[in-house]
Structure 1
Amino acid sequence: MAEKIIVIDEGTTSTRTMLFAADGTPLGSAQREFRQHYPAPGLVEHDAAEIWTATLACTRAMIDKAGGADRVAAIGITNQRETVVFWDRATGEPLAPAIVWQDRRTAADCAALKAAGHEPMVQAKSGLLLDPYFSGSKMGWALKNWPQLRDAGDRLAVGTIESYLVYRLTGGVHVTDATNASRTLLMAIDGAHGWDEGLCDLLGVPGTLLPEITGCTTTVGTTVPDLFGRAIPICGMAGDQQAATIGQACLASGQTKATFGTGAFILSASGPARPHSANRLLATVLVQEGDARSYALEGSVFVAGSLIQWLRDGLGLLASAGESEGLARSAADNGGVYLVPALSGLGAPHWRPDALAALSGLSFASGKAHVARAALEAQAYQAHDLKSAFAADGVDWADLRIDGGMAANDWMAQDLADMLDLTVERPDFVESTALGAAMLAATGAGLYPHLADAAAAMRGRTTRFTPALDAQKREARLTGWRSALAKVLS
């Protein structure tokens, strides 16, 4: 009997496939890291062929774990959202490097469009701001600058990671789901359900290159039988941050989650009404079931777990990412050290792609424990900045549900509770992104009648962290952060 769910979870630094039971119990996981390419400062690329090879290997391992393809009811896919792939429709092979969401090569293009006065129209239609973070400007840049894409003519297909994977898995179905489409700058998020001609023209992206936009629980196709021994339906797709919000069962208006992975992304559900921000937050599609869309307000921070990875791999200050928690606990306080992690610019609510990271307050009394603690403290400070912006837009958090690999750090989870002055709730199974994709796939496969039913049945137990820092100490730390941030923004 086909009762298990396979989830392909395409992150920024690794590919993972997970196996779930119908009740949300995780049954297995296979993971492979892939290379990050930095051809020049501000440029970040992936090899989509390497991602495909890793995906195929991990998925086959989990199908074997399930007992064969006959035991798998559906495949769900969740992915790094704004990363763009360019491939050949005939062969499925990439025609150029994938441009990663962290890439800043279109900063000057976005600045020029802002200066020309286009941002209010772009925000009104797409819910987004003109920033190189989003897919559309990356697509337009590549079409202008990479001759092999122009030379491909009608053979060229363009899409985000999940779109590319579906194409390869099905042997030619070119689709994207509404959550990923809403991150491109090319889709009007309310009203018509297709690509917006005016936005496509503005960014120089012909709509003929783009995939069809579908719902998140729609059966978009089946896998090529030879890949896994049987055709398996693909019927659950969402961008990673929307999937994590679903995995945390944040479906009702006002429920809020924060995922601390490579970056940090906070989404607050807003129901069927599209939100509008006056504080440089983003409106995005949370989920689409059939033709019905629900929305979320989002704040995006570009650097979170990648900061710890940089301390480990780039500076050699840490032997492992897990060492950061012990170092933070070993310091009585931050010693006046603040780290503003603008290694890829600053995201919400500042949106400064030109900003550079800064480590301040150092003295001979400072040690690597203070630097590690400053890196973890920066997550709470950035979350506090976003909480203020959400509140100014009329969405004040009652509590916060956290997930992602970095959320496993108990010291950081408690620091979030202390600095935000609210209860922080963490699921015992912190991989909410994969779980949310499993909920979507289970709904699409008919194992649950509605997504809300899947979320209620499949979400597991949680741990709560409550505030334990007095207001005076909290304000003193925030004052230090504001001073360090002001130097970066000046």
Structure 2
Amino acid sequence: MLQRKIVLVVDQGTTGTRVALYDENGNPVPGGWAYREHTQIYPRPGWVEHNPLEIWEKVLVCMKEALDRSKVDPRDIAAIGVTNQRETIVVWDPRTGQPLYNAIVWQDRRTAPITDKLRENYFDVIYGKTGLVPDPYFSGSKIQWLLENVGTLRDKALKGEAVFGTIDSWIIWNLTKGSPNTLTPGRGGAHVTDYSNASRTMLFNIRRLEWDAELLELMGNIPEESLPLPRPSSEKEAYGYTGPELDGIFNGQKVPVTGDAGDQQAALFGQAGFEPGEVKCTYGTGNFILMNTGERVVKSENNLLSTVFYSLEQGRAVYALEGSVFITGAAIQWLRDGLKIIEVSPEVDPLAESADDTGGLYFVPAFTGLGAPYWDPYARGLIIGITRGTTRRHIARAVIESIAYLTRDVVEAMEKDTASRIRSLKADGGASRSDVLLQFQADILGVDVIRPLVRETTSLGAAFLAGLAVGVWGSLEEIRKTWKAERVFKPAMDPEKRERLYRGWKAAVARALNWAREVPWAYGYGT
């Protein structure tokens, strides 16, 4: 009997861990998933941490539960793929596997003084080599902070008693711990990362695809030997094989770990966005929009980031432009929890659809400032255009429309940077379930918006990368054939109306920008 070719994916996110199983047709295996949340730790205002051991424990629980529920024979698991919250950093002892500090999460702002100096003195150097702007969001300044603030950590790192890695590195190291067959013998497990995750550290030269000595020096002389080995996102040699701790889950099978990518890059891969110019938007708490730019690093003139999309071959990569919008789906939660005009989030759709339009109302969800392409931390949320006829229906519709407007802002920046017009937008993430949102998105962009049949595109992308390495799929073209659209939303709005509405949006944003500087006393910035 022919063995099934199943790929297991660990999708480790900011709030929880999901394990999912996919078959050779790119379909989720029935029952083959599990999810567990982990604790959010807030030691001080602006600090956000996770317990790395708790995350690993959740990975183990989810793997066992997914296999048990699906009744999949561990002998049918062809490979393991990993995808992850990208910029969160872990430090651990490779001899014992014990973390030496909590994971510092991408949301953490403690390193703002470090990145302020980097931005002031070395902006061009960092942006030119990494495609990133100096910001606490990225991993390099977190490592610098750890080296400068945690006991004898620097001495340990120099002696090989402390190693650093983003969450993918931590998970892969634990998956392969104790295995003799890894790409990094002597490290206890495979101490690796892929180019896409490395490109989010602010330490990685995205053109040369290696750690950059000058950047390591700028960020407090980080020892290169303490960092993971950068590798392609799909590794035919395997990063390593499952170690003894996993024998009970896989019945003694040694499963190769062969795929790794940051969550947003994995989502574009899961959307089969393999051609330059293809764009996806993940609609979540915020929106992440990525455009494939091929083997060309596009230097953005419109406040976007350049990043590695994926790599199938050592020393080569495909790149992307990325724009991050901070608050989108979170605004729907605010309607529920703050204004209480809906009881559960799905109620926003019928409420918004019950209004033909917003009645001239605009909502700018700048609760924590505005991200790409504005990058204004002093912007604040705004509702403008209220009249005596404004109702909660209009507010709900304005919130839905704001998500689409913010996405257009980023897409327009991408089009300017690449001097090209996008052909369509692929949508995924929780809010992509909303028909009213995706229809308005198609209307305000003037292009088709495509929702896939499998909406968990992040874990699917990691499955594709892992499966490519071991022959579950033979090529990108074969993967493309497995991808299926569930629905295509076509623009139906008159172009003149489209542009009139968008001009109104830009006018509303202009009034939200810089607000906290105008009234700093209201936000704790001074008197």
Give 1:145 shift. Answer: 3.4
| Residue in structure 1 matched with residue 53 of structure 2 by the alignment | 49
> How far apart are residue 241 of structure 1 and its match?
1.2
Counterparts of 2:39 and 2:218, CA distance in 1:
33
Spell out the pairing of 1:156-235 with structure 2 (5 A cutoff): 156-171=162-177, 172-191=189-208, 193-204=209-220, 205-218=222-235, 219-227=238-246, 228=249, 229=251, 230-235=253-258
Equivalent residue letter for 1:4: I
C-alpha displacement at 1:308, in angstroms? 3.0
Number of corresponding residues: 487
Q: Closer, same or farther in 2 for the Cα pair 1:369/1:8, shift >3 Å?
A: farther
Give the aligned partner of residue 474 of structure 1: 498
Q: 1:226 to 1:132 in 2, by over 3 A?
A: closer
Question: Distance between the aligned counterparts of 1:489 and 1:148, measured in 2?
Answer: 44
Structure 1 CA distance, aligned partners of 2:351 and 2:153? Answer: 48
- Give the match's secondary structure for 1:35: coil
Question: Could you tell me which residue of structure 1 aligns to residue 518 of structure 2?
Answer: none
Whole-Å separation in 1 of the counterparts to 2:281 and 2:380: 24
Q: Which residue of 1 aligns with 2:268?
A: 245
Q: What is the alpha-carbon distance in structure 1 between the residues aligned to residue 111 and residue 420 of structure 2?
A: 31
Find the structure with the greater CA-based Rg. 2
Q: Aligned to 1:322, what secondary structure does the other structure show?
A: helix
1:169 to partner: Cα distance: 1.2
CA distance in 2, matches of 1:339, 1:67: 48
Secondary structure at 2:319's aligned position in 1?
strand
The answer on whether the counterparts of 2:88 and 2:106 sit within 8 Å (CA) in structure 1 is yes
Name the TM-score, length of structure 2 as normaliser: 0.86
In structure 2, relative to structure 1, the CA distance for the partners of 1:356 and 1:104 (3 Å cut) is farther
Please give the residue correspondences for 1:427-442 in structure 2 after superposition, counting only pairs within 5 Å: 427-442=452-467
CA distance in 2 between counterparts of 1:85 and 1:315 reads 38
Instruction: Determine the C-alpha separation between the residues in 2 that align with 1:312 and 1:45.
Output: 27
Is residue 310 of structure 2 the alignment partner of residue 287 of structure 1? yes
Q: RMSD of the TM alignment (CA)?
A: 2.3
Q: Is the 8 A contact 2:473 2:479 kept in 1?
A: no
Aligned with residue 77 of structure 2, among 64, 72, 79 = 72
Q: Would the aligned equivalents of 1:102 and 1:302 in 2 still touch at CA under 8 Å?
A: no
Distance in 1, matches of 2:134 and 2:507, equals 27
After TM superposition, list the pairs within 5 Å mapping 1:87-106 onto structure 2. Answer: 87-106=92-111
**Match of residue 185 from structure 2:** none
1-side partners of 2:420 and 2:279: how far apart? Answer: 10
One-letter identity of the residue aligned with 2:234:
T
C-alpha contact 2:27 2:454 (8 A) present in aligned 1: no
Contact 1:104 1:344 (8 Å CA) reproduced:
no
Question: Are 2:445 and 1:412 equivalent residues in the alignment?
Answer: no
SS of 2:288's partner is: strand
**What SS is found at the alignment partner of 1:246?**
helix
In the TM superposition, what are the counterparts of 1:52-451 in structure 2 within 5 Å? 52-64=56-68, 65-116=70-121, 118-147=122-151, 149-150=153-154, 153=157, 154-171=160-177, 172-191=189-208, 193-204=209-220, 205-218=222-235, 219-227=238-246, 228=249, 229=251, 230-291=253-314, 292-313=316-337, 316-362=340-386, 366-393=390-417, 394-450=419-475
Summarize the Cα distance change of 1:107–1:484 in structure 2 as closer, same or farther, 3 Å threshold.
farther
Aligned match of 1:34: 38
Tell me the distance in 1 between the aligned counterparts of 2:365 and 2:41: 20
CA distance in structure 1 between the aligned counterparts of 2:378 and 2:116, rounded to whole angstroms: 11
Distance 1:272 1:332 in 2: 44
Distance 1:33 1:145, change over 3 A: same
**Does the C-alpha gap of structure 1 residues 119 and 367 become closer, same or farther in structure 2, counting only changes over 3 Å?**
same
Matched residue SS, 2:345: coil
2: distance between equivalents of 1:111 and 1:359? 32
| CA–CA separation in structure 1 for the residues paired with 2:240 and 2:331 | 38
1:204-223 CA-partner distances (Å, limit 9, x unpaired): 23323211101111110111
Distance 2:152 2:339 in 1: 37
Q: TM-score, normalised by structure 1?
A: 0.92
After superposing the two structures, state which structure 1 stretch, 315-324 or 21-30, moved more: 315-324
d(CA) in 2 for partners of 1:416 and 1:112? 39
Amino acid in the other structure paired with 1:31? Y
Q: Could you tell me which amino acid in structure 1 is paired with residue 119 of structure 2?
A: K
Alpha-carbon spacing, 1:363–1:159, altered in 2? closer, same or farther (3 Å)? farther
2:305 is matched by which residue type in structure 1?
A: L
Cα distance in structure 2, aligned partners of 1:149 and 1:174? 18
Structure-2 separation of matches of 1:271 and 1:32:
36
Structure 2 unmatched ranges of 5 or more: 178-188, 515-527
Q: Is the 1:4–1:66 Cα contact (8 Å) retained in structure 2?
A: no
**Matched-pair contact (CA < 8 Å) for 2:92–2:99:** yes
